[in-house]
Amino acid sequence: VACEKPTIQLLNTLEEKIDLLEKQQVDNLVIVPFTDAFSNLTAEEYISNFLVEKFHPHTIIIGHDHHFGKGRTGNYALLEEKSSIFHYTVKEIPAHMLLEVTISSTKIRQSILNGDIEIASKFLGYPYFFSGKVVKGNQLGRTIGYPTANLQMEDEFKLIPGNGVYAVELEKLEDRRLKIEDKSTQHSKLNSQHTIYKGMMNIGIRPTVDGTRKVIEVNIFDFDKDIYGETLIITLKKYLRSEEKFNGIEALKVQLARDKENTLKALR
């Protein structure tokens, strides 16, 4: 179900969800706009008029804490109750525990905001990632030997990690998705042969140079190409340190050298 304006910051955009499902080799995906009419379906109507009438399911799988229908009155118990009438079976996904914690989207979001990237990745089952378009910055990094790609988030509702310095891997969106043409439509699929780059990312206001606006900037190692306007996919691998104000540019350069060394160690 696709909602036009989410009320919380997203762990995955719609496009990211599609990519993740494709990696799991899901054959068919139906995206349902969350219209007023759809939101007003009762739980019983959702089962009979939507799930059964449109899909004729053999098996329905539902999370242990998932609710559906107007007022969120539908759940596993209701699906089980209706199963004999509509001739389907129901399977419930139980709660998953990791590190003595029940995994939930709330705990994952908090881990990402706190810089607990490795814990968030364990909860998710994959490293957290986001995409951003490369835009013009003040090009200060270039003058001190650490040129950066300044990123503008592609989706305003996507969760931005907490301020700090991170070891990351990057890939260009156009390289990741391979365009395929057929007679009826043009679609894209994941390309496993694309190049993955290493780099270090800073999220924050850059206090050493008296910055006041929050920015996302990435220093890409062994890379010197014009990529303004292109979209990068950033995968967070390790949180290195919090953002700090240094006593001048030279002190900042010394720390950036340490950050690069620590990034390369983290990405081995």
Q: What pLDDT does 179 receive?
A: 46
Helices (H) and strands (E) in the chain, counts: 10, 12
The stretches of the chain forming alpha helices (DSSP H) are 14-23, 36-39, 43-45, 53-55, 76-86, 105-113, 117-124, 140-143, 173-176, 249-266
CATH number of this structure's domain 127-266:
2.40.30.30
Enter the pTM of the model: 0.82
CA 112, CA 135: separation in Å to the nearest integer?
Answer: 24
pLDDT value for 30: 94
pLDDT of residue 90: 98
User: First vs last Cα of the chain: how many Å apart?
Assistant: 39
268 residues of the chain, pLDDT tens digit each? 555 566 679 999 999 999 899 989 999 999 999 999 999 999 999 999 999 999 999 999 999 999 999 999 999 999 999 999 999 999 999 999 998 889 999 999 999 999 999 999 999 999 999 999 999 887 788 889 999 999 999 888 999 999 999 999 999 988 766 544 444 444 556 666 678 999 999 999 988 877 778 899 999 999 999 999 999 999 999 999 999 999 999 999 999 999 999 999 999 9
Query: How high is the pLDDT of residue 192?
Result: 61
Residue 52: count other Cβ atoms within 10 Å of its Cβ: 17
Contact criterion met (CB below 8 Å) for 129 and 80: no
In this structure, the strands spanning 197-204 and 164-172 are antiparallel
Q: How far is CA 227 from CA 156, 181, 196, in A?
A: 21, 26, 15
Rounded-to-integer distance, Cα 217 and Cα 201, Å? 6
Label the pairing between strands 164-172 and 231-241: antiparallel
